[in-house]
Amino acid sequence: MYNQNPEIPTVLEDIPESEQHVLLEKLAQWIVRRSLTAPAILFLETGKPLNFLGSQLLIAFSPFVQAFFKGDQYHKIALILEKDENVELLIQLIENPKDDTSNEIGET
């Protein structure tokens, strides 16, 4: 796969687990802050069997969505959501949010 920006990872293994967890926490905070908890959990739970396909769709739409998200966070989240364990962790983080909502997705 041709990657125009060498800083953007192309496989999940290129993203350290600590960074994966931080990005999932930021995404969960973004969802909770916008009161999208119920729809997000419903979508994630029903889409679990298709999470790899969904993550690939996120990558396909990345040129359009990057107008709203800064940096390479969007692409990293798409890769992170390939794994079933990460989807389950995201659901848990949404269900049990932390109080700190600073430095969420889309902010630098």
What percent of the chain stands above pLDDT 90?
Answer: 42
Q: Is 24 inside a domain boundary?
A: yes
Where would I find the H helices in the chain? 17-33, 37-46, 51-60, 62-65, 73-80, 84-95
What's the number of domains the chain is made of? 1
Q: Is 43 inside a domain boundary?
A: yes
For position 2, what pLDDT does the model report? 47
Q: Is 83 inside a domain boundary?
A: yes
Q: Is 80 inside a domain boundary?
A: yes
For position 108, what pLDDT does the model report? 44
For position 30, what pLDDT does the model report? 92
Q: Is 1 inside a domain boundary?
A: no
For position 5, what pLDDT does the model report? 58
Residue environment code for 53-80, b if the CB has 16+ CB neighbours within 10 A, otherwise e: ebbeebbeeeeeeeeeeeeebbbbbbbb
Number of Cβ within 10 Å of residue 19's Cβ equals 13
For position 64, what pLDDT does the model report? 82
Q: Is 103 inside a domain boundary?
A: no
Q: Is 64 inside a domain boundary?
A: yes
**Domain around 81:** 16-95
Residues with pLDDT less than 50, the chain: 1-2, 108
